[in-house]
A and B are shown apart, each in its own frame.
Chain A
Amino acid sequence: MSAAPHRLLVVDDSNVIRRRIERATELPGIEFVGSARNGVEALELHAQLRPTLVTMDLTMPEMDGAECVAQLVARDPGILILVISALADKLTAIEALERGASGFLCKPFTDHQLNEALRKLIGPAGGDTP
């Protein structure tokens, strides 16, 4: 019996980036379930969609990604969050990880880099949800 796929929520204030991540994610074991434009929307959709995997921008209006990461992890300690941000300094990455993110990918990125970063998060088995 195959494991349940990871349920992916994409959070970014850029429509172009949200659609790009949705198109580029082609790993077995990942099912795209929705996208949000900011942290507030992400928290609302988390309650409805119960994602197990999230890609999260940091610089967003309403609620930024760092705050949203902390709130998602407080609600669901097993959730996997890949922060995808243009903020390329080390301190930003460290802060995101300290708030509970599982990985960090710097913008700009190729489709291959995105899939590799997601593969690292979900592990070789792919569909084993936490």
Chain B
Amino acid sequence: MSLEAEVGVFVAGVLNYFGTSVQQVAQCGTPHLALSERPEIGDYTGVIQVSGKRSGLVAFTAPKSMLSVMLMRMQETDMSHENLCDLVGEIANTLSGNARRDFGHQFQISVPAVLTGRGGQIEYPRNSRPIVVPIAWRNYNARLIVCLN
């Protein structure tokens, strides 16, 4: 699979996630190589480690306000920090797990780890350059970060 096709798998996953889970479509901007070694992250970030046939990570990062509105769209009334962490981890898990449809059974994924705060640091694989997929939903901006060897 070409790099473009691989990134396309995740873009399709993002579109499907928003259309299904919160039933409001999101839009993905042009995926691009991260301008810096450590792309900027939002208030909450869910990180999935990938192992097996591929290695690296997949991360979904979003502002608190966006995640809160997503919970509301799911009829959730508990907007606690714990639930926001839970949601961002679940999104990262779903986007990574769905990618197995195209990457195959050997695309092994971890349970999610969650970073909070914009100062958090994702530990990227050495000598890798993350790909950033900008996501626009309502008037919020989030990012999917894919870094696979």
Contacts and interface: CB of A to CB of B under 8 A. Distances in A.
B90 A87 contact: no
Interface in A5-40: 13-17, 19-20, 23
B97 A86 contact: yes
Looking at chain B's contact residues, the main secondary structure is: helix
Contacts of A73: none
Nearest to A38: B111
Contacts of A107: 94, 97-98
Contacts of A19: 76, 78
B71 interface: yes
Interface residues on A, range: 20 to 34
Interface stretch (A43-51, A88-96, A117-125): A88-96
A14 B86 contact: yes
Contacts of A89: 100-101, 104-105, 107
Nearest to A64: B111
B61 interface: no
Interface in B70-89: 71, 74-76, 78, 82-83, 86-87, 89
Interface string B92-122: 0111111111001101010100000000000
Contact of A60 (B21, B101, B111): B111
Contacts, number: 65
18 contacts: A14-B87, A14-B90, A15-B82, A15-B83, A16-B71, A16-B83, A16-B90, A19-B76, A20-B76, A59-B93, A60-B111, A88-B99, A88-B101, A89-B101, A91-B105, A92-B100, A108-B16, A109-B20
Given A86-B96, A89-B105, 20 more contacts: A13-B111, A14-B86, A15-B82, A16-B87, A20-B75, A23-B75, A59-B97, A59-B109, A59-B111, A86-B93, A86-B94, A86-B95, A87-B97, A88-B98, A89-B101, A89-B107, A91-B105, A107-B97, A108-B20, A108-B21
